[in-house]
């Protein structure tokens, strides 16, 4: 393992503390929620539906609230219990809301708590987010074989069809159906949907431009398993280091706006956090290992997310 990856995979005490702090917040939030359940019939109906609050509280208070508090205190077995229970409840609430059309808000809150609990548990137990687990199989880093530009363009086009079809059509449609089934849909004004369409077009143009730059100038594709043979510092990469990621995030949120689904917008935003925290560090470590000082200089000059004055164009990559 190279030094950059070794440093990336080393446990960080600050991240362990952050994970414990989350469990502390979760314990307080859980206690406050149960208090509101017993004080407010509206909260009880929105988050529990027809479930008996006393019976649920008898199990949830020790396994969710108390276990989260113990996890915050640094007790490792409590971290496992709180995370496992939160995940189990999230799955159960999602099924309950889908079948009964009750407690949709409770299902959303528990799914969010489960995702956050898993992330916090990783921080507590490992001291880091194991991004290397994401970059395996079809997403493992490998350099594309030598091929003509038209071959790389064709590969990139096929990848684009699959990924856009999955993440911009199929998954948003499923999420929107769930949102409607859980009675959580909020009809947006037409201007919001129009804005979504405009953002989708703009982000798609950026995505195509970025993908073409990787295929033609980088001699590869955006997919990690057939990644570029050369460091691309031209096209949109003159302005920002991750134009493909920016395009994908904006596309996902734009689809949510266009179809009037706030859950799709939240899903896309959550995906951006996963990519930034789990995938991007692994990708940057790989680029540093392959391109060394050239990538380090590029990383120091060009921002990750916010564009600024672009790099000067060159004859070789323009």
Q: Confidence class of residue 2 from pLDDT cuts 50, 70 and 90?
A: low
91 and 145 together in one domain: no
pLDDT over threshold 70, residue 315:
no
- Cα–Cα distances (Å) from 38 to 53, 212, 233, in that order, read 8, 57, 58
Q: Has residue 246 been placed in a domain?
A: yes
Q: What integer pLDDT is reported at residue 85 of this predicted model?
A: 98
Residues 64-91: tens digit of each pLDDT: 999 999 999 999 999 999 999 999 999 9
115 and 9 together in one domain: yes
Range of the domain at 76: 3-129
The DSSP H or E segment spanning 20 is helix 13-39
Q: What integer pLDDT is reported at residue 223 of this predicted model?
A: 87
Query: Residues 239-260, buried b or exposed e (16+ Cβ, 10 A)?
Result: bbbbbbbbbbbbbbbbbbbbbb
Q: Has residue 203 been placed in a domain?
A: yes
212 and 191 together in one domain: yes
Residues 119-147: tens digit of each pLDDT: 999 999 999 988 888 777 767 888 989 98
Q: Has residue 271 been placed in a domain?
A: yes
């Amino acid at each position: 393992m190279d030094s950059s990856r070794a440093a990336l995979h080393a446990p960080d005490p600050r991240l362990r503390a952050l994970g414990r702090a989350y469990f502390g917040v979760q314990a307080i939030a859980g206690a406050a929620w149960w208090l509101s359940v017993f004080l407010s019939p509206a909260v009880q109906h929105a988050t529990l539906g027809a479930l008996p609050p006393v019976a649920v509280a008898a199990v949830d208070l020790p396994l969710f609230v108390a276990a989260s508090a113990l996890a915050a205190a640094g007790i490792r077995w409590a971290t496992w219990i709180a995370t496992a229970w939160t995940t189990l409840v999230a799955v159960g609430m999602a099924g309950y809301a889908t079948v009964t059309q009750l407690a949709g808000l409770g299902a959303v809150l528990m799914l969010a708590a489960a995702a956050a609990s898993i992330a916090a548990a990783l921080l507590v137990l490992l001291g880091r987010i194991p991004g290397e687990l994401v970059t395996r199989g079809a997403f493992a880093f490998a350099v594309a074989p030598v091929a003509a530009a038209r071959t790389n363009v064709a590969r990139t086009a096929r990848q684009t069809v699959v990924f856009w079809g999955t993440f911009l059509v199929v998954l948003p449609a499923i999420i929107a159906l769930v949102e409607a089934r859980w009675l959580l849909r909020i009809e947006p004004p037409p201007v919001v949907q129009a804005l979504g369409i405009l953002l989708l077009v703009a982000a798609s143009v950026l995505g195509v431009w970025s993908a073409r730059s990787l295929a033609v100038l980088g001699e590869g594709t955006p997919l990690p398993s057939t990644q570029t043979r050369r460091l691309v510092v031209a096209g949109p990469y003159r302005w920002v280091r991750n134009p493909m990621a920016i395009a994908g995030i904006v596309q996902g949120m734009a689809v949510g706006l266009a179809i009037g689904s706030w859950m799709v917008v939240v899903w896309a935003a959550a995906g951006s956090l996963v990519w930034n925290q789990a995938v991007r560090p692994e990708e940057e470590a790989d680029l540093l290992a392959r391109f060394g000082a050239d990538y380090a200089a590029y990383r120091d000059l060009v921002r990750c997310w916010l564009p600024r004055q672009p790099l000067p164009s060159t004859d070789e990559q323009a």
